[in-house]
Amino acid sequence: MLSNVSRILTYVTAILYTILGAALFLLHQQLAPVFAWKVTAFMTMTIGGWCLGNAWLAWTVARRWKWQLVYPSLIYLWLFGAFELIVLVAFRDKLVLVHPIAWLYLITLIVNVITALVGVMDWIRIRPAREPGNRLTTTAHRNAVIFYILFVGFLGVYGSTVQIGAPGTNGGIFPEVMSLFTLRSFGVFYLALTLPVAALLWDRNLNTFLTHSIASYGLIIFITLAAFIYIRLFDFAARPGGLAYFGAYLAVGIILFLEFRKSGTGAEA
């Protein structure tokens, strides 16, 4: 596995995301006006959900700390920090670093990226081996991974490339109109979610699949909870695209919960 320095940095990243995410998620109405860029209360709560989900993922990774089990989740965490920091740099003219919460967001991303750089250097130096598992994924797991890549990957590419005014960007999927800054932040989040999962098309170790699923489960829980709290913003009749946003998280959450009950979470490996 990677070095203890990487593990400690992953724990630190988890702690920072916990503090940041709890503040944004619980104080979304108070912090929305003073966040790092112009966002609504629902957007602030959703970003807080990302951060709390990242905290759970980073803590789970650092606890298990076996390359075969955690590498997709670890790669997601590395990509998330790098992608979101790139978006901040690209929109630096829109960045407002006045309130401490804005600085905390920036510092957390910087620490995330440092964690990624150390981790990549560790990987180049150590080259941890992937091991065959005792349990293998099925055709149903593979089909689920393919659907996930196509659906979430499309959202990632779309949100990272289109301009405001394109279909779905004016409240058609997410129920509020986003700035281009916010749209790009959402887009690269979905890209970061998609890219590591592609490895599961070739890696048939069921425990790797289950570990990544349970590590990512915090993202599903907190983002879905934010959508439930702000369900009044969704008009499924006039803007049915909202069903894709709301329903996808809910459906994946239920399916994975049933899978955990059946197969466990991969921790026994």
Burial class (CB in 10 A: 0-12, 13-18, 19+), 92: exposed
Percent over 90 (pLDDT), the chain: 87
Return the minimum-mean-pLDDT range out of 23-37, 95-109, 126-140, 188-202. Answer: 126-140
* Res 7: pLDDT: 98
| pLDDT range class, residue 168, cuts 50, 70, 90 | confident
Q: What is the token pair recorded at 7?
A: 């593990």
Task: Tell me: pLDDT of 171 over 90.
Answer: no
Percent over 70 (pLDDT), the chain: 99
Residues in Cβ contact with 25 at an 8 Å cutoff, skipping those fewer than 6 apart: 45, 48, 49, 51, 52, 222, 226
Rounded (10°) CA dihedral 112, 80, 163, 46: -90
> What does the domain layout of the chain look like in residue ranges?
4-263
Mean pLDDT of the residues in the chain = 95
| pLDDT range class, residue 218, cuts 50, 70, 90 | very high
DSSP 94-160: G----SHHHHHHHHHHHHHHHHHHHHHHHHHHH-PPP---SSB--HHHHHHHHHHHHHHHHHHHHHH
Tens of pLDDT, residues 71-120: 999 999 999 999 999 999 999 999 999 999 999 999 999 999 999 999 99
| pLDDT range class, residue 167, cuts 50, 70, 90 | confident
- Gap between the Cα atoms of 130 and 67, Å rounded: 7
| pLDDT range class, residue 268, cuts 50, 70, 90 | low
Could you report how far apart the first and last alpha carbons of the chain are, in Å? 14
Please, are residues 251 and 112 in contact by the beta-carbon 8 Å criterion? no
Q: What is the token pair recorded at 93?
A: 């003219």
What is the mean pLDDT of the segment spanning 126-154?
Answer: 91
| pLDDT range class, residue 233, cuts 50, 70, 90 | very high
| pLDDT range class, residue 142, cuts 50, 70, 90 | very high
| pLDDT range class, residue 157, cuts 50, 70, 90 | very high
Among 34, 14, 28, which residue's Cα sits nearest to residue 111? 14
Among 44, 17, 47, 39, which residue's Cα sits nearest to residue 28? 44
* Res 133: pLDDT: 75
pTM here?
0.96
Tens of pLDDT, residues 15-44: 999 999 999 999 999 999 999 999 999 999
| pLDDT range class, residue 269, cuts 50, 70, 90 | very low
- Gap between the Cα atoms of 42 and 25, Å rounded: 9
